[in-house]
Amino acid sequence: MATPDASLVQQQLANLKESYKHRLAEDLVDLERCTTAMLAEQGNREMMASLCQSLHRIAGSAGTFGWTEVGAACREMEQQTQIWLKRADDVAPEALEMIRARLRALIGHMHKAASDGDTPPRIDFDAGSEYTDAAVTVVLLGLSTHEGEHMADALKGFGYAIRFAAEAGDILSMSPAPDVLVADQNVLTMSLRAYISRDDVPTALIQLNRLDTFERRLHAVRCGAQGYFTYPIDIPRLEARLRRLATRHTQDPYRVVIVDDDVELSEHFRLVLQAAGIDSRVVNTPSMVVAALHDHMPDILIVDINMPGCSGPELAQVLRLDDDWLKVPIIYLSAETDQDRRTVALRQAGDDFLAKPISDLDLINAVKVRSQRSRQLSEALERDGLTGLMKHAALKEQLDIEVSRAQRSGEPASVVMIDIDHFKSVNDTYGHATGDYVIRLLANLLRRRLRKVDTVGRYGGEEFVAILPNCDAENAARIFNEIRMNFSQLDCVSGEQSFRVSFSAGIATTASSGEGSVLLEIADQAMYQAKTGGRNKVCVSEPTD
C-alpha cells in the first residue's frame, strides 16, 4: 500500500471538517425543531427515541472534528433522554424546554465559532508508513572474528543484510539505524543502551552471553534486549528470533474494515489510519460488510454499536455465524457509556471496546496494538512454527480461494509442489537441527523470491507448496527453475562443515482442473516425475482434455 501524500491527507481532512460543520449545524436545528414538536405532542416516545439516537451520534463524532463542547453537551442531553425513555410517565414540558434552550445555545455557539474562523485539523502523528520491503539490516557487535564470520555467513543465506561494528560508538553514527543489533553483553555501553531505548530509534537488541542465569536475563531485559542467547549460538533459533523481530519491517500493512453509518466520521477515521500506513476500508451499510470482508481480509473489524436497521452487536452475531470470521476480532467504537449495554454487546459477539470521541493518535495506537495481536494469534493458528509459512490446512483453504478466483477471472493460476532432495541423508549426516536449518533456508528463499500475491506454505516435512495467481505453467517453470538454481548454489553450514542441497518440483495449473485437491495431486505426480528423472528438476504436468 502506497503511503498517502501528507498534504493531500491534510486537505482531505480539512474538507471533511468543513462538511461536518455544515451537517452538525443542520442537525442541531433539526433537533431544536424536534423538541418544539414534542412540546406540542406530549408523550410521543418514538420522537423521544429519535432525539436520543441523534444526540448519541453527535456526542460520538463532534469531538473528532473539534467541536468538543458541542459533543459534551449532547452527551449530557442524551443521558437525560435515556432516563426519560426508561420512565413510564410523560416528560414535563419544562424539561423539554431546557433541552430546546440548550440546543439553541449550541446553535449560537456554532455560529460564533464559524464567524471567528477555525483552523483546519492537522494530523498529530507521524504519517509515514512503518512498513518496507528492504532487506532487514543486522549489525554484529563484540563477536570474535570466527564467531562473527560464521554467524554472518549463516544469516546471509536467510536474506539478511549483515554489517559489522568494531565498537559501540559505531552504532551511534550509523544512518539509517540498523533494524537489529546482535551484541555481546560485555560491549553494551551506557550510551549505546540509552540510544537503543529512544523512541525514535527502531533498533531491536539481541544480547549474547556466556552464562544463562535469571540474573543475566533480567539484566538483558533492563538493557532493552528482545532476545537472549548463550554461546555457542544456535543459529536456527537466532534466525527464528530475528524473523519475529523483523516482521514489523517486512510485513504487509495492517488491514482494517470500519463499519459506521456516519459517513463523515468513518471517512475521517479511514484517512487518519491510511496516513499512518494502515490499509483501511469503510462500510456505511451493514449489509455490505460480508463482501468487504471477503475482499479486504482485515486484521480487525471496527463497528459502531448504534446503527439504524442493524445494531453493531447484531452485525457481530451475523458474522459469527460463519466460521470464516470467527478469528477476526470485532472492536466496538462507540459513544455508548452504559456499562451494562457494553457488557451485553461484548457477551453477544464483540471482543473489545473503544470510546468515542477518540483522538487520532489514540485511534492509531489502538488499531496497531489490536491488529498486531490479531496477527500473532492468526500466525499461531495458521503458520508453521519452524518456517513461518502457512500450515497444511490453511494452505489448502487458500488454494481453494485462488482456484475460485482464477475461474471467475479467467486468468490461470499455478500450483507448485516442492520437495528437498535426499533430505533424510541430511538429517542422518548432520543432525535434525541442521535439517531444520535447511528447511528454513528454502522457506526464506521462497518467501523472498515470490511475489506478495503468491502464497507459499509448508505442506509437511520437507515438502512445500506454492500458489501463484495469474501465472501460467511456462512462467511458473521459469520462476522455479531460477529458485532451484539459486538454492542449489547456497552453502549450508553445519559446525565446521558446509554442503549443498537441491530440490525437485512439480507444477500444475488451473487448466488441468478446477479443484484444489486435484491440482495438488497433479503437482505431486509432476514432482515425482522430477524425482525419478534425476532430481534437481522442475517438471510441468500436461493439461488433460
**How big is the CA angle at 325 (ends 349 and 454), to the nearest 5 degrees?**
155
**Model pTM greater than 0.85?**
no
For the cut 70, the answer to whether the pLDDT of residue 248 exceeds it is no
Residues 6+ apart with CB under 8 A from 192: 168, 169, 171, 172, 183
**Which amino acid is it at 354?**
L
At 283-313, the pLDDT tens digits run 999 999 999 998 888 999 999 988 888 999 9
Q: Alpha-carbon distance 491 to 157, whole Å?
A: 8
Domain 255-382: CATH architecture, name and number where available: 3-Layer(aba) Sandwich (3.40)
What does DSSP say about strands 503-509 and 497-499: parallel, antiparallel, or unpaired? unpaired
Cβ–Cβ under 8 Å, residues 158 and 444: yes
Q: Alpha-carbon distance 295 to 298, whole Å?
A: 9
Q: Alpha-carbon distance 416 to 527, whole Å?
A: 9
What are residue 180's DSSP bridge partners?
A: 138, 204
Confidence at 134, pLDDT banded by 50, 70, 90? low
Alpha-carbon distances of 525 from 177, 211, 455, 518, rounded to whole Å: 48, 51, 20, 11
For the cut 60, the answer to whether the pLDDT of residue 116 exceeds it is no
How many residues belong to the chain? 545
For the cut 60, the answer to whether the pLDDT of residue 434 exceeds it is yes
Scan for cell 532493552, then name that residue: 224
Cβ–Cβ under 8 Å, residues 273 and 256: yes
Residue 120 has a pLDDT of: 42
Scan for cell 447484531, then name that residue: 314
SS3 letters across 235-266: HHHHHHHHHHHHHHHHCCCCEEEEECCCHHHH
Chain mean pLDDT for the chain = 85
Asked, colleague to colleague, whether 6-116 and 255-382 share their fold, the answer is no
Q: Alpha-carbon distance 475 to 479, whole Å?
A: 6
What are residue 497's DSSP bridge partners?
A: 494
**How big is the CA angle at 388 (ends 274 and 505), to the nearest 5 degrees?**
115
Q: Alpha-carbon distance 245 to 181, whole Å?
A: 11
Residues 6+ apart with CB under 8 A from 376: none
CA 113 to chain centre: 39
Residue 316 has a pLDDT of: 93
For the cut 50, the answer to whether the pLDDT of residue 125 exceeds it is no
At 303-354, the pLDDT tens digits run 998 888 899 999 999 999 988 888 899 999 887 777 888 888 888 888 999 8
H helix or E strand, kind and range, residue 55: helix 45-61
Which class is 392-540 in CATH? alpha beta
Residues 6+ apart with CB under 8 A from 428: none
Cβ–Cβ under 8 Å, residues 75 and 335: yes
What does DSSP say about strands 180-184 and 137-141: parallel, antiparallel, or unpaired? parallel
- Rg, C-alpha atoms of the chain: 29
Q: Alpha-carbon distance 139 to 157, whole Å?
A: 15
Compute how many other C-beta atoms are within 10 angstroms of the C-beta atom of residue 44.
16
Domain boundaries along the sequence of the chain = 6-116, 137-250, 255-382, 392-540
Residues 6+ apart with CB under 8 A from 128: 3, 277
Across 170-314, the runs of DSSP E, i.e. the strands, are 180-184, 204-209, 225-230, 255-259, 279-283, 300-303
Residues 6+ apart with CB under 8 A from 537: 484, 504, 505, 530
Confidence at 128, pLDDT banded by 50, 70, 90? very low
Is 1.20.120.160 the CATH number for 6-116? yes
For the cut 80, the answer to whether the pLDDT of residue 3 exceeds it is no
Cβ–Cβ under 8 Å, residues 288 and 315: no
At 441-453, the pLDDT tens digits run 899 889 878 888 8
Bigger pLDDT: 154 vs 489? 489
Task: Kindly state the average pLDDT of the residues 25-29.
Answer: 86
Residues 6+ apart with CB under 8 A from 375: 251, 254, 299
Which class is 137-250 in CATH? alpha beta
DSSP 223: T
